[in-house]
Amino acid sequence: MLAKLYAAYPQPADGIADFSVRLEPAGLLRRWVRPSIFITGDHGLAEAAPMSLAHGLLAAEMGMNLQMALGWRRHLLLHASSVEKDGRALVMTGESGSGKSTLAAQLGERGWRLMGDEFALLDLVTGEVFPFPRLVSLKNGAIDVLAGEACPERMGPLLAATAKGDIRHLVPQADAVARMGEGAQPALLLFPRFGHEADVRAVGQGETFMRLTQASTNYVALGEAGFGALTRFVRTVPGRAIDFPSGDEAIAMVERLWDELA
């Protein structure tokens, strides 16, 4: 199932994936009583809850997220979605439920190149944002929104009632997958908040910096290189907090701010 959804993705150049993700049966007895999958890999999470086999796809996704969060050293890793237009990147960061992933996916269906719904990679030397376009993970309400906009072949099966709610995966458009190695200079940073009356607020550089350190899983581990990369980002990229009641409003706000600031 995983292979089918990732069919369009290139194989790693030397045949060796950057990380290994192992899905192991959780203990001998559980294998017979009820199939379970325990997330492990190079970096383990001791208390991860076992999941039924039907949700193996989701478990693999979570395993991959964890690998990224704990192991990546070549870039500053930001918990953010990103899309690209005209060679410049829009980066959106916020907590789960902020709308950053859904908004990125929608923009990806409206002429923007989707670079990632979960992670953005910030190049430590050039300051470019690089894609990490794994499958988009749509939760609950976002599923219907995107199912209405993307063609069915790019949608994965419905995983009902997981620990994160209902989930369906969406394959990014062919162009986005083909250009996975292509970065872009960040030009706008947004802090989205879905489900509020429409509003736009400037965000001070100090607050932006602090929020980005909170959104980064490897800022501290990168030391001075991380400091340099993040300060460069904060000094060169304008930041806005946007509140919106619907995806359509959000998209309109994004396009306006992009014209104004990017």
Partner 1 sequence: MSEQLPEQSGPIQGGDDADAIASSRRQLLMGGAVAASAIVSIRPALANTAASVLNCTISVPDQGRAGGAIAPNGQVVPAGTPGAFPGAGRGFTGEQVKQALRGRPLPGTSYDQNQAYLNYIRRLQSGTSGFTCFASLQMPR
Partner 2 sequence: MTAERRYRQDQSHTTVACVLEDITLLYHRPSGQTHMVISPVPEILSALEDASPATASEVHARLARHYDLGSSVEAIAQIEAHLADLAALGLVRAA
Among 73, 220, 252, 256, binds partner 2 (CB under 8 A): 220
Q: How far is the CB of 158 from partner 1 (least distance, A)?
A: 25
Give the integer Cα–Cα distance in Å for 37 and 41: 12
Give the residue, chosen from 73, 201, 235, 256, that forms a contact with partner 2 under the rule CB under 8 A: 235
What gap in Å lies between CA 77 and CA 217, rounded to an integer? 6
Q: Which does 204 bind (CB under 5 to 8 A by kind): partner 2, partner 1, none?
A: partner 2
Segment interacting with partner 2 (CB under 8 A) among 8-16, 102-110, 134-142, 205-213: 205-213
Among 205, 214, 236, 246, which residue interacts with partner 2 (rule: CB under 8 A)?
205
CB of 206 to partner 2, least distance (A): 4
| Bridge pairing between strands 239-244 and 199-202 | antiparallel
164 sits near partner 1 (criterion: CB under 8 A): no
- The answer for residues whose C-beta is within 8 angstroms of residue 250's C-beta and 6 or more apart is 99, 103, 106, 192, 194, 242, 244
Q: Which does 225 bind (CB under 5 to 8 A by kind): partner 2, partner 1, none?
A: partner 1
Region of 140 on the Ramachandran plot (φ > 0 left; ψ -120 to 50 alpha; else beta): left
Rule CB under 8 A: which residues touch partner 1?
42-48, 66, 69-70, 124-125, 210, 213-217, 219-221, 223-225, 227-229, 231-232
Rule CB under 8 A: which residues touch partner 2?
204-206, 209-210, 213, 219-220, 223-224, 227, 231, 234-235
